[in-house]
């Protein structure tokens, strides 16, 4: 598995992150097989959140991997906090208590990465800074980042937080390319020219923040997958054509399309299917040509100016 540096840190991570939001859909034996298969593929970066399964997903993962000190040394663990029922909460108290719960459920003394999960408009950056300092000095969290934040929100946090924010988890797939579209349509009056996220793609590249695309196979907001979907005949035909060229599946090409971008992204895959997991990992070894990348982008219905 090819690796990249996570943001400005020295942490080497695989280019594929294994999302564990749906691991509670597996029984004990299936969960064990799933985690072991990921590790065999070199995908040892596992991504969690305290709200996944109400915390049960972290517990199931710890059981499935047979967590102990020896096992922990082979893993890179990321989790997120900040979402509560009916609200978002970046208060110092909530961040600290959330991390303690995460560590207990994962049966570990530390997280490699903690992300703040969606923006909290009531955030007091000074409190976040205090929480991060305590978590870092205690050894509970080694690196920090955010999820679904725009440049101004990141800059507001970074004004007070001394730790570099190394990752930003954002929705991105072949059919969800808003952060790319406005960059193509500069000085245009069409719908694609609307800058909806403050040029977050360029901002993250400028500041060496690793983008972690979530839902890389989804269209819309959890409306379904675009692969083998009759709603996207032209797109699937083009993906299948490229897949045949490389002798891989359409799943592999969908991830390779994201990895081709020079921003050095780290897609978060959420599949619990073993073959799709393996197919996702194969994308690490494929570099699409510029022609293939643009052909897939256009096939998704995007028009270049």
| CA atoms lying within 13 Å on the CB side of residue 213 | 31
Burial class for 247, CB neighbours closer than 10 Å (0-12, 13-18, 19+): exposed
Distance of CA 21 to the CA centre of its chain: 12
Tell me how far apart the alpha carbons of residues 77 and 8 are, in angstroms, rounded to a whole number.
18
**In sequence order, what are the residues at sequence separation of 6 or more whose Cβ sits closer than 8 angstroms to the Cβ of residue 263?**
201, 204, 205, 211
Q: Indicate if 246 belongs to the active site.
A: no
Task: Give the chain's largest Cα–Cα span.
Answer: 57
Q: Are 209 and 165 in contact (CB under 8 A)?
A: yes
Burial class for 131, CB neighbours closer than 10 Å (0-12, 13-18, 19+): buried
Q: Residues with catalytic annotation?
A: 52
């Amino acid at each position: 598995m090819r690796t990249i540096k996570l943001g400005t840190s020295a942490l080497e991570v695989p280019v594929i992150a294994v999302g564990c939001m749906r691991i509670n859909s597996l029984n004990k034996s299936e969960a064990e097989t799933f985690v072991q298969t990921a590790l065999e593929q070199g995908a040892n970066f596992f991504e969690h959140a305290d709200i996944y399964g109400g915390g049960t997903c972290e517990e199931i993962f710890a059981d499935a991997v047979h967590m102990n000190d020896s096992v922990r040394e082979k893993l890179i663990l990321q989790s997120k906090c900040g979402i509560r029922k009916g609200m978002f909460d970046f208060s110092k108290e909530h961040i600290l208590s959330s991390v303690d719960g995460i560590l207990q459920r994962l049966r570990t003394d530390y997280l490699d990465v903690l992300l703040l999960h969606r923006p909290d408009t009531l955030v007091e950056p000074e409190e976040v800074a205090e929480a991060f300092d305590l978590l870092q000095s205690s050894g509970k969290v080694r690196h920090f980042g955010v999820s679904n934040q725009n440049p101004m929100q990141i800059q507001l946090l970074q004004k007070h937080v001394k730790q570099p924010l190394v990752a930003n988890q954002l929705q991105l797939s072949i059919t969800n390319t808003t952060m790319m579209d406005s960059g193509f349509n500069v000085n245009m009056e069409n719908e694609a020219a609307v800058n909806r996220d403050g040029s977050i793609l360029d901002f993250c590249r400028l500041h060496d923040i690793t983008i972690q695309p979530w839902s890389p196979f989804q269209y819309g907001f959890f409306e379904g997958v675009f692969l083998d979907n009759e709603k996207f005949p032209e797109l699937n035909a083009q993906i299948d054509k490229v897949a045949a060229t490389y002798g891989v599946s359409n799943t592999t090409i969908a991830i390779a399309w994201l990895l081709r971008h020079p921003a050095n992204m780290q897609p978060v895959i959420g599949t619990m299917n073993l073959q799709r997991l393996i197919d996702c990992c194969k994308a690490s070894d494929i570099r699409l040509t510029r022609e293939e990348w643009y052909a897939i982008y256009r096939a998704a219905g995007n028009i270049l100016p």
